[in-house]
Amino acid sequence: MRRVVCPGSFDPVTNGHIDIIGRAARQNDEVIAAILNNVNKHGLFSVEEKLEMLAESTREFGNVRVAQFGGLLVDFCRENGVSAIVRSLRSVSDFDYELQIAQMNYQLSGVETLFMTANPQYSFLSSSLVKEVAQHGGDVSSLVTPFVEERLRAKYAARG
């Protein structure tokens, strides 16, 4: 069984994330969409909220499950029988950053990193950009699922 992981902060999950997860799901037996629980970083959404949004956004893929991890991704890979990490590349600058991480992960554990180029439709998309647009009342309906859009609107409405 080929099991891969698509790691991220998913704060929030975007259509770009879902595209990569779905493409990985078509090529592998199982995909774990894993949320990094970084206690030093406070996102807009809690880990529990992100898990809920990610599960709802990927439910159409029968071979995708969601999880969370803390610490090193390679430790999560070892503990879960993951053979490769799937990462998205939107630009050349992404590659420079991701290559260093991929090489470190391989050095630490032998776990491979597979790079997928972003769908051009989503190559500009980031969670930070989605949050900024949503915070100012902009239309994010083409950038996230309706479920995530609803959660964004509720989060910013509660903040006043």
Q: Where are the domains of the chain?
A: 3-158
Question: What pLDDT is attached to residue 42?
Answer: 82
Question: What pLDDT is attached to residue 68?
Answer: 97
Residues forming the annotated binding site for substrate? 9, 41, 73, 87
Question: What pLDDT is attached to residue 41?
Answer: 76
- Indicate which residues carry an active-site annotation: 17, 41, 90, 127
| Cβ pair 108, 72 in contact under 8 A | yes
Question: What pLDDT is attached to residue 83?
Answer: 94
pLDDT mean values, one per 10 residues, the chain (160 residues): 96 98 98 90 92 98 97 97 96 92 97 97 95 96 97 91
Residues forming the annotated binding site? 9-10, 17, 41, 73, 87, 98, 122-128
22 class by beta-carbon count within 10 Å (0-12 exposed, 13-18 middle, 19+ buried): middle
- If phi > 0 it is left, if psi is from -120 to 50 it is alpha, else beta; for residue 86 that is beta
Model's pTM, two decimal places? Answer: 0.95
Question: What pLDDT is attached to residue 101?
Answer: 96
Architecture of domain 3-158 in CATH? 3-Layer(aba) Sandwich (3.40)
